[in-house]
Structure 1
Amino acid sequence: MAPGPAHRSVRFAAPAVRLNMNKDSAQTALLWIVAAGFFMQSLDTTIVNTALPSIANSLHVAPLAMQPIVVAYTLTMAMLTPASGWLADRFGTRRVYFVAILIFVLGSICCASAHTLGQLVMARVLQGLGGSMLLPIGRLAVLRSVSSEQYVSALAFISIAGQLGPIAGPTLGGWFVQAVTWHWIFLINVPIGALGLYAVQRFLPAHGEIQAPPFDFVGCGLLSLCMISFSLAIEAPVETHRAAWSAGLFALAVLSALAYIPHARRRSNPLFKLSLFGEPNFSVGLLGNLICRIGSSAVPFLVPLLLQLQLGYTPLHSGLMMLPAALAGTVAKRWIAPLVRRYGYDTFLLVNTIVVGSAIVAFALITRGTPLIVGIVVLAVFGAANSMQFAAMNSVTLKGLSHEDAGSGNSLFSMVQMLAIGLGVSIGGGLVNLFSAQWGSAALGFRLSFVCVGIITLISAWVFRHLDDAPVTRNVRGQTTQGAGR
């Protein structure tokens, strides 16, 4: 008997349903791939801090001399992030994302194989080369594969992986150091990366190459020279015979930044258009972000060192002590939107910056006799306020940019974030060394350093007073996920 109309409709509808299911499965796989890459990147940013004293002991160097392995990673990411979008356009998203994971895994293996501090720093540069492409290209792959209605939800899902990294990183790093060796804080990336490489080849859509505009290598070189010179100037010892070297590096940083201005004016497609700074809140937000993050980025580096070197905590115990900050930060994210809607960005950031800076200063009061609950409360307050600070700073900096400038502005913003992390570690570690040598007490060196980096954070409150707080017309959470939730 010939099939009736109902049978024909089922027969013809089945391929459409199957096609739709395949598309949904591919998008789900894509989100998990990008989330895994983001998790690797965020985990590697935090897992190292708890293990620094053990790594220093293994490499026969002072624990406070370990900041180059953090700075090398973040600075490399800051320099190379702007090129990620151009590489994806030029060589294809799937190909470049595959290479990014491969380089990151190879860098992790080199880190685990390092026998000297210099070797470890070079391996971290290799890791940073791969890490600089993981999130931007992953976000670009999602943008090209999901509908506009699903984009914010997709980025929100990916940002969860970024939140899990700081939660798991310090504890996992402490556990590896005690249960096995510090080498496993890097080797854990190998199985995750291997699965990622297979998944990229199996599930990531093969977006073809497109006609990418010429990349601004000169502009990227000038800004990279500025960041490297500025970082090395801060890293330089403060002895008299090095003062001229440090001053020369500062001058080189300023000159390279100034040289970028006429270069950007002459070029039709510069790395970052100068018109970005015509949006007042972008300029204020960028400067406020840099200053605030310098202070708050020193905390994840200094606190594990304080707990292990001064208070006698084990690596695992010090890692567990960082959990209240990470968990409180995750919970506090839901408070941002209603608080900003009620008080406005300028008032919210003024008050919240004071809370963040005061919490950092409060770390100076923690000693061997301080009750455990006090330390937990200080860490929780810092984590909650810092999480809201990052999200609000991300949103107010980017929300006023036009659609044409959003991509370029977000890329510059990501550079500043990574630069600030490196500067925070350099300044925090340098201050501890300086005060410890001057006063002959490492304990006093840590206390004075927390006070100084807390004051640096408080200075950003004055910067945020210059915000032009127009009515909030865009979703705060949407902007937060756009800024990678950091």
Structure 2
Amino acid sequence: MPDPSNLRRIPMIIGCALFMELIDATAVLTALPQMARDFGEPSVRMNLVVSLYLLAVALFVPVSGWAADRFGPRRVFISAIVLFTLASVGCACSSSLFQLSMARMAQGAAGAMMVPVGQVILLRWSARENLLRAMSYLTIPALIGPILGPPLGGVLVTFLSWHWIFLINLPIGVLGVALVLRYIPDYPGTPGEVLDVPGLLLSAAGLGGLVFGFEALGHGLLPRNGALLLIGFGVVAACLYVWHARRAAHPLIDLSLLRIPTFGVTFWGGNLMRIGSASQPFLLVLLFQLCFGLNPLEAGLLSFVGGAGAFLMKLLAVRIVSRLGFRRTLIGNAVLTGLTLAACGMFSISTPYWIVVAVLFTSGIIRSLQFSTLGALTYADVPPGQSSAASSLSAMTIQLTMSLSVGIAAALLGLIMSVRGHATVAEGDVALVMGLAGLLCAVSGLVYRKLAPQAGASVYAARSR
């Protein structure tokens, strides 16, 4: 049983590793123009810095669960933090685009191991009745990191240099390793755990093709036909993996977990929710900067309001779910998520700032509750022996659906602009995409209707008695 004094500390330690990765992944976007000038490269080639990072994440996420079981989750977690920190120093010391790209690939590989292995530690450490509270702390970095990253990157690039986007990871990484060694239990590995090599190759090819293909489609990294061909390759590889997993004795990614009712429902419902909601930061940046004429720092500060709402909700999530149950919370909150997304699309240049802030703050509260609730229910009925496999499967689909979300949003935006004859993004174009994204989030509530009324009660019942 965990020490009561650690009920908040350990999830926050694990969450800080996730925060470090997400801050780095988003802050680097603001530094690409300055990097291009320093390296003497065309701006379009700097997309490699982002693309190779995502490719490395896609390749290494599937193997994270096996590594945690084979070598022990704390050892893998510490190794990932150390590699991420060293790779960050390598990024800061790079003197060419090639060196930076190689360092970013190492960062991506480390980040792919940090997040799912951190979840494995949390699942093994936390008692069932504390899982919802632990997940509410863990999801805060996931909500705040992508929002804080761009304005932080803008400040560092403006007042210092792009190198500091990577150098700030050095003290965070050193402190993180020290805290993990002091507070995180050292769960043993399982010697002789066999690696499913065919499954690794097929899953890496499928996930890599899909993630990189949707990223290329959304950000114009490749010609459209090339991006679609890459997506098609990913689909074929993914289908071959499903065929392989049904015949393998110990598949790398265990799809039989989808037969667990709570895991299966949250898997499909959560993916629909992320496809609809993960495009919000991307669309808000377009709306605030291209339509309203705000600078990157002003737009980033407005977007950060949602992070403040996420902080507030962590204090209320357990009480809300204890009163309403998982089923009613997820259904009702899916509708509210859709409404707040649609409301963001109704912003105009004349909308008072206090209304923008209020809507974004409310959106942050609602999204925080939804993802905290999903995170806890996903693992509520997963046997401890399958926690690593469940974490790998969940992390893999999160990476895929977030890339899919931006790719679909960008493609829809381009289609709407073409139909309406707009050469540049207009407020109405963004509003239509946000409305469709909100509708998809609301539709995910239909999936949660399949949950039993008392689904996941073990996660909060003991606390409410």
TM-score, normalised by the number of residues in structure 2: 0.79
Counterpart position of 2:29: 52
| Among candidates 291, 294, 302, match of residue 275 of structure 2 | 294
Q: 1:177 to 1:356 in 2, by over 3 A?
A: farther
Q: 1:203 to 1:313 in 2, by over 3 A?
A: same
Contact 1:311 1:368 (8 Å CA) reproduced: yes
Contact 2:265 2:450 (8 Å CA) reproduced: yes
Q: What SS does structure 1 have at the residue aligned with 2:381? A: coil
Q: 1:373 to 1:68 in 2, by over 3 A?
A: farther
Q: 1:384 to 1:152 in 2, by over 3 A?
A: closer
| Among candidates 136, 149, 152, match of residue 172 of structure 1 | 152
Q: 1:290 to 1:308 in 2, by over 3 A?
A: same
Counterpart position of 2:111: 131
- The 5 Å alignment of 1:63-462 reads 73=53, 76-91=56-71, 95-112=75-92, 123-138=103-118, 155=134, 159=138, 162=141, 166=145, 169-196=149-176, 210-236=190-216, 245-436=226-417, 439-444=422-427, 445-462=429-446
Matched to 2:138, the amino acid is S
Q: What SS does structure 2 have at the residue aligned with 1:131? A: helix
Contact 2:64 2:392 (8 Å CA) reproduced: no
Q: 1:349 to 1:142 in 2, by over 3 A?
A: closer
**Which whole-Å deviations, capped at 9, do the CAs of 1:39-84 have from their partners, x for residues lacking one?**
2432431465466355346537999998875665456435423423
Matched to 1:290, the amino acid is N
**Which whole-Å deviations, capped at 9, do the CAs of 1:213-268 have from their partners, x for residues lacking one?**
101222232222222222344345599x9665455444433332332233223322
Contact 2:276 2:405 (8 Å CA) reproduced: yes
Counterpart position of 1:465: 449
Query: Aligned partners of 2:139, 2:233: CA distance in 1, in Å?
Result: 40
Is the deviation greater in 163-172 or in 411-420? 163-172
**Which whole-Å deviations, capped at 9, do the CAs of 1:118-147 have from their partners, x for residues lacking one?**
876654332121122224444556777x79
Per-residue deviation, 1:379: 0.7
Per-residue deviation, 1:473: 2.1
Query: Aligned partners of 1:345, 1:368: CA distance in 2, in Å?
Result: 38
Query: Aligned partners of 2:284, 2:399: CA distance in 1, in Å?
Result: 20
**Would you say how many aligned residue pairs link Structure 1 and Structure 2?**
452
Matched to 2:350, the amino acid is G
Q: 1:37 to 1:165 in 2, by over 3 A?
A: farther
Query: Aligned partners of 1:142, 1:182: CA distance in 2, in Å?
Result: 34
Query: Aligned partners of 1:64, 1:356: CA distance in 2, in Å?
Result: 35
Show structure 1 runs of 5+ residues with no match. 1-23, 480-486
Query: Aligned partners of 1:156, 1:232: CA distance in 2, in Å?
Result: 29
Per-residue deviation, 1:286: 0.9
Show structure 2 runs of 5+ residues with no match. none
**Which whole-Å deviations, capped at 9, do the CAs of 1:12-40 have from their partners, x for residues lacking one?**
xxxxxxxxxxxx9xx98xx9798556424
Q: 1:107 to 1:298 in 2, by over 3 A?
A: farther
Q: CA RMSD in A?
A: 4.2
Query: Aligned partners of 1:402, 1:201: CA distance in 2, in Å?
Result: 26
Larger Rg, first or second structure (1 or 2): 1
Query: Aligned partners of 2:359, 2:249: CA distance in 1, in Å?
Result: 50
Q: 1:307 to 1:124 in 2, by over 3 A?
A: farther
Q: What SS does structure 2 have at the residue aligned with 1:334? A: coil
- The 5 Å alignment of 1:16-35 reads 35=12
Q: What SS does structure 2 have at the residue aligned with 1:442? A: coil
Per-residue deviation, 1:443: 2.7
Query: Aligned partners of 1:471, 1:147: CA distance in 2, in Å?
Result: 19
**Which whole-Å deviations, capped at 9, do the CAs of 1:336-376 have from their partners, x for residues lacking one?**
33433444433332221122122222222223222111110
Query: Aligned partners of 1:250, 1:183: CA distance in 2, in Å?
Result: 33
Q: What SS does structure 2 have at the residue aligned with 1:42? A: helix
Contact 1:355 1:385 (8 Å CA) reproduced: yes
Contact 1:282 1:396 (8 Å CA) reproduced: yes
Q: 1:453 to 1:260 in 2, by over 3 A?
A: same
User: Percent sequence identity over matched residues?
Assistant: 30
Query: Aligned partners of 2:101, 2:289: CA distance in 1, in Å?
Result: 23
TM-score, normalised by the number of residues in structure 1: 0.76
Q: 1:37 to 1:475 in 2, by over 3 A?
A: closer
Is the deviation greater in 113-122 or in 166-175? 113-122
Contact 2:377 2:456 (8 Å CA) reproduced: no
1:41 and 2:18 correspond: yes
Query: Aligned partners of 2:274, 2:210: CA distance in 1, in Å?
Result: 16
**Which whole-Å deviations, capped at 9, do the CAs of 1:258-298 have from their partners, x for residues lacking one?**
32233223322112334322223322221111121122111
Contact 2:17 2:81 (8 Å CA) reproduced: no
Is the deviation greater in 134-143 or in 367-376? 134-143
Query: Aligned partners of 1:322, 1:478: CA distance in 2, in Å?
Result: 37
Is the deviation greater in 129-138 or in 246-255? 246-255
Query: Aligned partners of 1:478, 1:317: CA distance in 2, in Å?
Result: 45
Query: Aligned partners of 2:350, 2:171: CA distance in 1, in Å?
Result: 42
